[in-house]
Amino acid sequence: MSTTGMLAAAGGSTPSIPAPHIEYGQLSPMLVVFGAAVAGILVEAFVPRRYRHWTQVSLALAGLIGSFVAVVVLAAQGYGSTKVDLLAMESVALDGPALFLQGVILLAAVVAVLTYAERKLEPKAGGLPADAFAAQAAATPGGEQERAALRAGFATSEVFPLTMFAVGGMLLFPAANDLLTMFVALEVFSLPLYLLCALARRRRLLSQEAAVKYFLLGAFASAFFLFGTALLYGYAGSVKLGDISDVISGKAMTTPALLSTTQNDALLLIGLAMLAVGLLFKVGAVPFHSWIPDVYQGAPTPVTGFMAAATKVAAFGAFLRLFYVAFPGLRLDWRPVLWGVAILTMVVGAVLAVTQQDVKRLLAYSSIAHAGFILTGVIATNKQGLSSVLFYLLSYSFVTLGAFAVVTLVRDSKGEATHLSSWAGLGRRSPLVAAVFALFLLAFAGIPLTSGFTGKFAVFQAAAAGGATPLVVVGVLSSAVAAFFYIRVIVLMFFSDPKPGGPTVAIPSAFTATAIGAGVLVTLGLGLLPQYFLDLASKAALFVR
Amino acid sequence: MNSLIPLLVAAPLAGAALLLLGGRALDRFGHWLATALAALSFGFGLALFSDMLGREAEHRAITKHLFSWIPVNGFQADISFRLDQLSMTFVLLITGVGTLIHLYSVGYMAHDERRRRFFAYLNLFLAAMLLLVVADNYLLLYFGWEGVGLASYLLIGFWQHKPSAATAAKKAFIVNRVGDMGLSIAIMLMFVEFGSFSFEPILGSAGTVGGAAQASEGKLTAIGLMLLLAACGKSAQVPLQSWLGDAMEGPTPVSALIHAATMVTAGVYLITRSSAIFDLAPDAQTAVVVVGAVTLLFGAIVGCAKDDIKKALAGSTMSQIGYMVLAAGLGPIGYAFAIMHLVTHGFFKAGLFLGAGSVMHGMNDEVDMRHYGGLRKHMPVTFVTFGLGYLAIIGFPGLSGFFSKDKIIEAAFAKGGTEGWILGLCALVGAAVTAFYMTRVMLLTFFGEKRWQPDADGNAPHPHESPKTMTIPMVLLAFGSVFAGGLFAYNGSFLTWLEPVTGHSEGDSPLAPLVVTLLTTACMLAGVAVSYLMYGRSAVPVVPPVGSPLTRAARRDLLQDDFNHAVLVRPGSALTAALVYFDSRGLDGFVNGLAATIGGISGRLRRVQNGFVRSYALSMFGGTLVLVATTLLMRSV
């Protein structure tokens, strides 16, 4: 596998570029989603305004479900368990982790699209039902143009194709088998997310600020990733993960043209660290986490839920592939560094969440702490670690989506009431909603009989088996700190007196109800009967090389 | 026939479940359902009894294994039952008296809006008590033991709206807890020593030798003392007697059934059932007789001073159970007589309590005997039945109490030596005091001038006879009070009946039985005479006189609560306060300090999150530098 199209081109021996061989069937999960995204753009152009919402919702759901079916079909053909493949000139991997995570991303995206489609929570604007997104994204907040757009009942239904592009990128990210494809995927899913963050209907300025921050910092992190890619190419003479691994282990010789730089360990190590920075930024690990609270708070809540769930899955997928496929030979170099990052992430996430007063920021810090917990599984560097991370991502994404979906329901006259003080006594007024949120919080805290417990137990067990016992101790202690603030919210909801004039719980349409229901179902299902999914994750835990 | 044994327990248990879960639909006839199930259980008991009589004395014990609850290697917890002559006696007493009291309660509780719940608890009590006496192992016995404790708690506090009733229920529960600890420790010791909970491997039976026969005396003494502690709690013996007087806060049928006739005798059952252990542990036996002798005097003295009719009877109950415990502590000389007195006491004391309830029923729930007087004309049936119970308890020749108490006093002398003399004299004195206070109760209630007055609301009581549902049980119990003793004593029939289970030996009495009988009767007559001189000849003051220091102490239950307060409650409170101090300052201080520290760190760290994207970028850049540097450093180390 050392001589492939790109190296041949670099050698310059043949003038003609051979047409790449594309396995459309095996790539269909991504192709369907991208196809739906493109179709969505066409819908924006050609379908009359009043049909757009429903067309977009149906199209997005159809695309996602079609793609999920493709994933299932591939899995049923034995991909990921009995056979693996490299696609599109070895730039895309088709193996267990890729398929598993693509499935998780697609399911999370379905749930997210359901929350996007909700139009019963916001009061009608201009006589038309309104969703969580800005009437006209380009209008100045508070300006005349915005008021006109509101009066006219405009809606930014582009969120659906944008989300589909993001999903497409996310599907590619954990499957990318070379650094350049990985980078392209990173950008493909990041750019739509930057836009989506800016589209909140309420608190427009906060939303736009969040988007700009996310974009600036995201670009900064992407730059690190790209630098890392360049340095590694300089070291190994290839951007393919398998080739890099071979060069590191000394199995493959390098190209003579690059003799002056190859096997320079400084290039390798600095490149490795920079790639790690790019990915650690996306998963929200400390000290690359500072964007998360601001962006999670400012973004429209359905988008926050989607980002928190799907981005994390995709980024950890790429993280795993990079460190398990390209750098297993450097384990001794990167493990201590990741130890430090994981410890910092768990501790800082948990400690900072203690004093948060805004429920979205609270969940943001909780997501940081969870990134730390997942990192402990990554650091295990064994099969168990891999499967436990896969399982954790599955369980975590549904809890997160559900929790943010509940946040959209608790509202006052200014939209969502996210300040914790207004959640006091919610359990008295809306016992069902409060109970569901309490369930999600318990799952976050890792209380038994919820999926959170099973996931946490699995990663900690794997980490302990992988010789990272101190990490597990820190993890358990951080969980104890984290349990404090989760349970504080439960106490607030059930044991405090409701404030007069506090928020009300809006009755959602079937969309959000289904999304929350799916969250509850998965949370309880993976908590009570986790074995099937643990087995599935275990079967999927093998990377193609 | 064996399969009838579980049904004994199941019938009232089903009643309790039905009544508790059935809801209001059962309000109209629930009490009759409960009574019918109690009667059904009695019917099962009678069937089993006739079946048992049809077999040879050695083959009368039957067992029924229902299922294994925890069938683990080395730990067998079985749900299995054993019915022998001892259990049979209790079954008949419990179901028989229990059914009568159910019937009585139909009238007594007619106007209580929570009547259905009351009957559910009564049925629950019956089930638990039957389980206690037919259990084939100590673990199941313990289950029943706790069950009757629960039922007792629920029924003492049945009128929970009265703070005094709620407090009394808690007091009974807590004091019993001390005894229950004793039983659980005894069971654990037995399991460690004998590797089993079942009666047969521990106690042995006809033809087999139990583990107790091989165990060392020290261990048996320890087990015996723990069993005695348990008995003290359940049977209100000194030093765990303090709850019984307060337990009279419960409805009167409860006092009659649970706190006179059946539950409080469970301690005597436990000691008698464990005779194989006590017989080989003389020190534990000595402790038992001491407890019995002390309690019989203690209860009698308390009974002399109480003006509350139920509390006077409660003191009497304590004293009579003291007799039983004394007899049980005498070993094979006394076991059968302990049980015999237990049964006769069950009849006459239940009858006395029902009589007291009937009096209260007619007197607007007045309990102070100084406000009664001359009631014999207004309540003839109550007067006659109560009077027969009275004659029985003081041991009037020919009535039940005469035979059973006389046998116990004889047995006490038969213990031999100085010990025998001391115990015998205690028992004789007790008989005299019993006659005194019971005569007092009788005189204050039914004789003399009427002393009742309008209550605070101006309602003058109109004493009247109680309805049939109440008088019929009283009449039936009066029959028991009169004839049971004679029947049991005739030809030693009760002794012969129980002997296969408890064994019997005659002992070595320094006095001829006839002498003892004459002495007992003389003491009894002396007590009656003194009482008559004090209360029958002159008018009784409505307001109690100040009285001697002893009287005042006896009115306060011989300072039992003051003693408990000074010796147990105050040091206990001090210890608790110290622990709370340590907990709040030491442990909580650490925990709170930790929480405050984390909160403080969190507040500091928050400031880093200042919202400026340039700071964020800088922190990322710094982080990258550290990451790169560390990675490079790791390689060079």
Do the chains contact at A352 and B619, CB–CB below 8 Å? no
Q: What is the count of residue pairs from A and B with beta carbons less than 8 Å apart?
A: 85
Q: Tell me: the pLDDT tens digits for B270-298? A: 999 999 999 999 999 999 999 999 999 99
φ/ψ (deg, to 5) at B390: -60, -50
Number of H helices, E strands in chain B: 26, 2
Number of other residues whose CB lies within 10 A of the CB of residue B167 = 14
Residues of B in contact with A227 (CB under 8 A): none
Q: What is the pLDDT of residue A170?
A: 97
Q: What is the rounded distance in angstroms from the CA atom of residue B119 to the CA atom of residue B19?
A: 8
**Can you state the angle between helices B217-234 and B138-156, rounded to 10 degrees?**
20
| Distance from the A173 Cα atom to the nearest Cα atom in chain B, whole angstroms | 22
State how far the Cα of B418 lies from the Cα of B422, in Å rounded to an integer.
6
Mutate to test the interface with B, among A205, A292, A294, A352 (most CBs of B within 10 A): A352
So what's the ipTM on this one?
0.90
The whole-angstrom distance between B629's CA and the closest CA on chain A is 8
For A98-113, the pLDDT digits (tens) are: 999 999 999 999 999 9
Task: Mark yes or no for CB contact B598/A291 under 8 Å.
Answer: no
d(CA B636, CA A168): 41
Contact A351 B601 (CB under 8 A): yes
Confidence of residue A3 (pLDDT cuts 50, 70, 90): very low
- Nearest CB among B598, B623, B628 relative to A287 is that of B623
**pLDDT for res A256:** 67
User: Is A354 in Cβ contact with B634 (below 8 Å)?
Assistant: no
Label residue B184 by pLDDT band (50, 70, 90): very high
Mark yes or no for CB contact B624/A355 under 8 Å.
no
Q: Are A336 and B634 within 8 A, CB to CB?
A: yes
Q: How far is CA B105 from the centre of its chain?
A: 20
Q: Which of A269, A277, A481 sits opposite B632 (nearest CB)?
A: A269
B623 CA to chain A: closest CA distance, Å? 6
pLDDT score of B180: 95
Residues in B closer than 8 angstroms to A348, CB to CB, are 605
CA nearest to A219 within chain B: B617
- Is the pLDDT at A410 greater than 60? The verdict is yes
In this structure, are strands A415-416 and A85-87 parallel, antiparallel, or unpaired?
unpaired
* Amino acid letter, residue A17: I
How high is the pLDDT of residue A5? 46
What are the chain B neighbours of A355 within 8 Å (beta carbons)?
A: 599, 602-603, 606
What is the residue-averaged pLDDT of chain A? 91
The verdict on a CB contact (< 8 Å) between A333 and B631 is yes
B609 touches chain A (CB under 8 A): yes
Question: For residue range A82-93, what is the model confidence (pLDDT) as tens digits?
Answer: 888 898 888 999
Cβ neighbours of A484 in B, within 8 Å: 595
Q: Cα distance from A216 to chain B (closest Cα, Å)?
A: 8
Q: What's the confidence (pLDDT) of residue A80?
A: 83
CA distance B594 to chain A (A): 10
Whether residue A135 has pLDDT greater than 90: no
pLDDT by residue (tens digit) across B78-114? 899 999 999 999 999 999 999 999 999 998 998 888 9
Residues 6+ positions from B504 with CB-CB distance below 8 Å: B332, B333, B335, B336, B495, B498
Candidates A213, A290, A347, A362: best to mutate against B (most CBs of B within 10 A) is: A290
Rounded to a whole number, what is the distance in Å from the CA of B611 to chain A's nearest CA? 7
A355 and B603 in contact by Cβ < 8 A?
A: yes
Provide residues of A within 8 Å CB-CB of chain B: 212-213, 216-217, 220-221, 224, 265-266, 269-270, 272-274, 276-277, 281, 286-288, 290-291, 293-294, 332-334, 336-337, 340-341, 348, 351-355, 481, 484
The residue in chain B having the minimum alpha-carbon distance to the alpha carbon of residue A218 is B617
Contact with chain A for residue B600, Cβ under 8 A: no
> How confident is the model over A337-355, as pLDDT tens digits?
999 999 999 999 999 999 9
Q: Is residue B207's pLDDT more than 80?
A: no
Contact A217 B617 (CB under 8 A): yes
CA–CA gap between residue B330 and residue B340 (Å, rounded): 14
Query: Is B617 touching A (CB cutoff 8 A)?
Result: yes
Given a contact cutoff of 8 angstroms between Cβ atoms, the answer to whether B90 and B102 are in contact is no
Q: Which two tokens stand for residue B167?
A: 């407090």
Tell me the domain boundaries of chain A.
21-540
B637 CA: distance to closest CA in chain A (Å): 10
Burial of B339 (0-12, 13-18, 19+ CB in 10 A): buried
Provide mean pLDDT across the span B4-30.
91
d(CA B29, CA B33): 6
Average pLDDT value for chain B: 91
Q: Do A288 and B620 touch (CB under 8 A)?
A: yes
User: Which region holds residue B543: left if phi is over 0, alpha if psi is between -120 and 50, else beta?
Assistant: beta
Would you state the structure tokens that stand for residue B158, as one six-digit string? 């049945």
Q: What is the pLDDT of residue A249?
A: 85
Q: Are B628 and A269 within 8 A, CB to CB?
A: yes
Instruction: Provide the edge-to-edge strand list for the sheet that holds A410-412.
Output: A415-416, A410-412, A504-505
Asked whether residue A14 carries a pLDDT value surpassing 70, the answer given is no
Condensed to tens digits (0 to 9), the pLDDT of residues B320-342 reads 999 999 999 999 999 999 999 99
User: Partners of B412 in the beta sheet?
Assistant: none
Calculate the alpha carbon distances from B457 to B367, B371, B399, B447 in Å. 17, 16, 43, 26
The confidence score (pLDDT) of residue A9 equals 47
Please report the pLDDT score of residue A263 as a whole number: 63
B627 touching chain A per CB within 8 A: yes
How close B597 comes to chain A (CA, Å)? 10
Closest residue of B to A271, CA-based?
A: B628
